[in-house]
């Protein structure tokens, strides 16, 4: 057998890939597993978005190659959406790049900026893809702590007290996953000043800003020319379009061009009907978000009650489609607690250790479940 590249040794199987295989085996054996571990939207996208997709598919010209930057109308719709909800007006011709999902953007940004042995500031706790992308590029991960004591926000003074030499990127994610903490204007201003002072590119991963959050914020609103800052965004959560793979990166023209050099050599443009459906999604009114959040608010309260029954401590004032909660003291760590719930109640909850060492005593529970299934989980725990 031919030896694999060294970079494959830097990437382990994604936790959920392995765990879901175990869950599928249990289901095949006749066990009814209630999966509250994955943030997989279970609600339909807006009707007009689905209509736009199906209508466009009937156009013979829709099935050919598309521009690497996306069609002009899509980039304009993204720019208008940013202006309407974030009070930021990026230039659609040079400062917006549609992506086949924002997870793709994490890898593209890493490949565009990281050389071997460069360093990246990665949050602990945080989305595992940030660290994996850095390692695949041969870069070093320098973890900075997010903890309850600092309201799950970076302590920039503490970070500045360390050696910042060689650091090119810093990943942040607000509203935060997994902790559900909302961004503040001050946090984004401080991050922008930090980025300028140390010439670091700060990237905010921002897919949750419309879920259980009355004030969507963008880090781009804190810097006029977008230097040293990028923002990833997505329709996966805000419009229930996770499987459509529809994201974007917004930032300075030079940064967008750097990312495009990588992206244009990997894919050949997004399917036109998906782009045209996305335009409809970006133009949808506030009523859509209000109705969606009524559903998530009800589920959040139900899951909050479930977690209390499991002996966890948590708050219901969190953004995003999860609840982050502390496990009972009698369990050694979040893996043990998660396995306990799976074995005893046939209920899967994500252990916080998936997101870093600071998640050792926490679990993340999804709200992407029908109310009837949440009720059934509560009955099992009774």
**Residues of the chain predicted below pLDDT 50:** none
In CATH, the architecture of 10-39+287-381 is Alpha-Beta Complex (3.90)
Beta strands in the chain (DSSP E): 34-35, 96-99, 119-124, 140-145, 167-172, 201-205, 229-234, 247-251, 322-326, 347-348, 350-351, 362-366
Task: Check residue 44 and give its pLDDT.
Answer: 96
pLDDT in tens, 350-373: 999 999 999 999 999 999 999 999
Cβ atoms 302, 371 nearer than 8 A: yes
Ranges of CATH 3.90.1150.10 domains, the chain: 10-39+287-381
How far is 367 from 53, CA to CA, in rounded Å? 27
Task: Check residue 13 and give its pLDDT.
Answer: 67
Task: Check residue 22 and give its pLDDT.
Answer: 86
Q: What DSSP element (H or E) covers 377?
A: helix 371-381
Between the alpha carbon of residue 66 and those of residues 56, 60, 61, 70, 268, the distances in Å are: 14, 13, 10, 7, 7
* C-alpha dihedral, 231 to 237 to 243 to 248, nearest 10°: -20
pLDDT in tens, 213-233: 999 999 999 988 899 999 999
Query: What is this structure's pTM?
Result: 0.94
Task: Check residue 15 and give its pLDDT.
Answer: 73
User: Is domain 47-282 given the CATH code 3.30.1490.100 in the classification?
Assistant: no
Ranges of CATH 3.40.640.10 domains, the chain: 47-282
């Amino acid at each position: 057998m031919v030896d694999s590249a060294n970079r494959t040794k830097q990437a382990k199987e994604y936790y959920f890939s392995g765990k879901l295989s175990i869950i599928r085996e249990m289901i095949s054996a006749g066990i009814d597993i209630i999966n509250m571990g994955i943030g997989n939207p279970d609600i339909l996208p807006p009707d007009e978005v689905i209509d736009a997709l199906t209508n466009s598919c009937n156009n013979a010209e829709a099935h050919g190659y598309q521009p690497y930057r996306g069609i002009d109308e899509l980039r304009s719709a993204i720019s208008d959406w940013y202006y309407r909800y974030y009070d930021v007006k990026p230039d659609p011709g040079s400062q917006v790049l549609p992506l086949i999902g924002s997870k793709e953007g994490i890898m593209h940004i890493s490949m565009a900026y990281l050389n071997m042995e460069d360093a990246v500031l990665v949050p602990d706790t945080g989305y595992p893809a940030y660290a994996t992308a850095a390692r695949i590029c041969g870069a070093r991960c320098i973890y900075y702590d997010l903890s309850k004591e600092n309201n799950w926000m970076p302590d920039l003074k503490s970070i500045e007290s360390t050696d910042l030499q060689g650091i090119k990127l810093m990943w942040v994610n607000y509203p935060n996953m997994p902790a559900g903490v909302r961004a503040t204007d001050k946090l984004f201003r401080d991050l922008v000043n930090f980025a300028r002072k140390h010439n670091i590119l700060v990237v905010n991963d921002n897919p949750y800003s419309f879920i259980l959050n009355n004030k969507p914020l963008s880090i781009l609103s804190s810097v006029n020319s977008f230097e040293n800052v990028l923002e990833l965004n997505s329709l996966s959560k805000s419009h229930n379009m996770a499987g459509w793979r529809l994201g974007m990166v917004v930032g300075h023209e030079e940064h967008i061009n750097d990312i495009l050099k990588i992206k244009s050599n990997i894919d050949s443009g997004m399917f036109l009907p998906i782009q045209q459906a996305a335009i409809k999604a970006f133009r949808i009114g506030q009523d859509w978000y209000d109705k969606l959040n009524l559903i998530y608010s009800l589920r959040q309260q139900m899951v909050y009650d479930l977690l209390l029954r499991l002996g966890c401590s948590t708050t219901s004032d969190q953004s995003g489609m999860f609840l982050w909660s502390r496990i009972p003291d009698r369990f050694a760590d979040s893996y043990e607690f998660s396995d306990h719930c799976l074995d005893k109640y046939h209920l899967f909850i994500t252990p916080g250790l998936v997101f870093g060492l600071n998640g050792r005593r926490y679990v993340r529970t999804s709200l992407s479940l029908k109310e009837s299934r949440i009720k059934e989980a509560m009955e099992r725990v009774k």
